[in-house]
Amino acid sequence: MNVDTMRNIDHYAGVPLAFLGTIIKKIVEFFIPPKKIKPKNVLLIELSEMGSAIIVDPAMRKLKANIEGELFFVIFSKNKVSLQLLETVKEKNIFSIDESGLFALAKSSLEFLFWCRKNEIDSVIDLELFSRFTALLTASCGAANCVGFHAFHNEGLYRGDFLTRKVAYNPHQHIAKNFISLVDALLSEKIELPYTKRIIPDNEILIAKATISDEEQQSVLAIISQIYDGFSRENTPVILVNSNASDLLPQRRWDRENYGDVIKKILAYNSEAIILLTGAPSEKEGAQLLADYVNDKRCINFAGAVKFLQLPALYSVCKFMLTNDSGPAHFASITNMHTFVIFGPETPALYGSLGPTTPIYAGMACSPCVSASNHRKTPCSDNQCIQVITPEWVFNTLKFKLDELTH
């Protein structure tokens, strides 16, 4: 299903189902008061964003250190692989929901409810901002402790009243700290309204680094050597460019020609460097259009050349990456490679990479125009917030990393 179809289902079916579910829950609790249970087997729900599976890792590690049981995760099938980069959650503890069609979604959601009971899930943290679908999964999974973001007095964003611990989503601090707030709420012995009343320092959202073997690096270097004749790890700096952005928010895309103009400047500035255009196999055609625009043998279509789980090894042997505000910026954060991330309808204050990074952001009066309150859907069809960012601006921002290559 495409993104808009899923949004419509979430709204038109989700709102009445959440309302009905809330009434049923209130009636049941009137006769059978809910039990107080110490968190043991904890489930996290984050379906739609691959990058969020990385951003939530500091919160997951804190959770693992403070419970005696197991950590579980549910995510859309197409995004499951993102959880395997850091392996914080065991493979057997991950449930993937098939979102390919309405029937498949319903079938896998029903299987999920049985899976939760089989694994004796007692606590659930809904990481989605204001999805009715995940609210319904939270309500029906059988957990005694239900934690998530609650709208309180904000109009709209209705998704029922299923939470036992309600956290106030803070749109003015990084989403990683919001995730920590959810974990704090679950672990807290003190009842608060809303949770969480403390300062979350930056050192609590430090991202873990992937363990990358020499063998993994050599495997990636061998692929680069096959594609670029004369490649030398010592003498050929490798720079990555990711010009892709998911269909979830197409307004994040910077024009292909702009990327091409920056690449031309980089190749002219450093005569030894090569540019690898990264992406999924399905993005190979778009990467080729960019390679054709640059028309330089040192600009190489690398989309689909490595498997997803080889990305950390690829990042570890490259000098830096230029990318749209999308998953690769967060995947790269588990390595020491520097990223330059172009932001427009979203803000780096909320979704900046947790690794070494430099955001490129105009901060126009209208941006960020996507948020939890509009389900990250903007009416904008003229993304000036991206268009005002020029190739010269981007090149001058990343130039200091090029200068480091010559020293």
* Domain at 367, CATH number: 3.40.50.2000
**Single-letter amino acid code for the residue at 380:** C
DSSP string, 32-83: SPPPP----SEEEE--S-TTHHHHTHHHHHHHHHT-SS-EEEEEEGGGGGGG
The Cα 168–Cα 148 span in angstroms is: 9
Same structural domain, 42 and 161: yes
Distance of CA 322 to the CA centre of its chain: 17
Same structural domain, 123 and 258: no
Same structural domain, 197 and 237: no
Last residue of a domain, one of 205, 222, 244: 205
What are the strands, taking DSSP E only, across 278-402?
299-301, 320-324, 338-343, 357-361
Same structural domain, 232 and 93: no
**Cα dist. 312→39, 237, 242 in Å?**
33, 17, 15
Contact between 284 and 301 under an 8 Å Cβ cutoff? The reply is: yes
Q: How many domains does the chain have?
A: 2
Last residue of a domain, one of 205, 239, 266: 205
Same structural domain, 187 and 265: no
Same structural domain, 347 and 376: yes
Q: Residue 361 pairs with which residues in a beta bridge?
A: 343
pLDDT confidence of residue 246:
66
Same structural domain, 15 and 59: yes
Same structural domain, 271 and 351: yes
Residues in the chain: 407
Same structural domain, 310 and 385: yes
Which residue stretches of the chain have pLDDT < 50?
none
Radius of gyration in angstroms for the set of CA atoms belonging to the chain, rounded to a whole number: 22
Last residue of a domain, one of 188, 205, 222: 205
Comparing C-alpha atoms, which of 344, 326, 338, 311 is closest to residue 399?
A: 338
Same structural domain, 193 and 263: no
Q: What is the mean pLDDT of the chain?
A: 93
pLDDT confidence of residue 49:
83
> Which residue segment(s) compose the domain that 394 sits in?
214-404
Same structural domain, 105 and 195: yes
Same structural domain, 250 and 101: no
Contact between 350 and 174 under an 8 Å Cβ cutoff? The reply is: yes
Contact between 236 and 89 under an 8 Å Cβ cutoff? The reply is: no
pLDDT confidence of residue 350:
93
pLDDT confidence of residue 215:
97
